[in-house]
């Protein structure tokens, strides 16, 4: 089944991620946001950082991706928050219909 659905990956501090996830769903920008605890290693301002984070796995429509990214930037505490959009090539028909029904036009 062809789809307009995408997954957007982002990260946030463990104490901030639930509020961000809830806001995206409440605003109908995402049908579902899953949180998974991760440990991130990255270079920032010349140093290697090692931080606990929550990975946000955001399910939405491709047509809403720009709005989701804008909302992430608006609400996020990071100077440069992650927002990577991945296409969903195919999936369960009923799940994809639910995703579409639960997100804004």
pLDDT tens string 6-27:
999 999 999 999 999 999 999 9
What is the residue extent of each domain of the chain?
5-89
- Asked if residue 99 lies in contact with residue 24, where contact means CB atoms within 8 angstroms, the answer is no
- Asked if residue 23 lies in contact with residue 101, where contact means CB atoms within 8 angstroms, the answer is no
Fold of the CATH domain 5-89: Alpha-Beta Plaits (3.30.70)
- Asked if residue 99 lies in contact with residue 60, where contact means CB atoms within 8 angstroms, the answer is yes
Evaluate if residue 66 carries a pLDDT over 60. Answer: yes
CA neighbor of 56 nearest in space, from 88, 90, 89, 25: 25
| Letter string b/e over residues 76-86, b meaning 16 or more CB atoms within 10 A of that residue's CB | beeeebbbeee
pLDDT cut 90: percent of the chain above it: 95
């Amino acid at each position: 089944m062809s789809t307009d659905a995408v997954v957007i990956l982002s990260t946030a501090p463990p104490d901030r991620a639930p509020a961000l996830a809830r806001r995206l769903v409440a605003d109908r920008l995402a049908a579902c946001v899953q949180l998974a605890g991760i440990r991130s290693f990255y270079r920032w301002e010349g140093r290697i950082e090692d931080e606990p984070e929550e990975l946000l796995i955001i399910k939405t429509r491709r047509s809403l991706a720009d709005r989701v990214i804008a909302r992430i930037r608006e609400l996020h505490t990071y100077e440069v928050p992650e927002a990577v959009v991945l296409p969903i090539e195919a999936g369960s028909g009923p799940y994809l219909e639910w995703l579409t029904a639960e997100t804004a036009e």
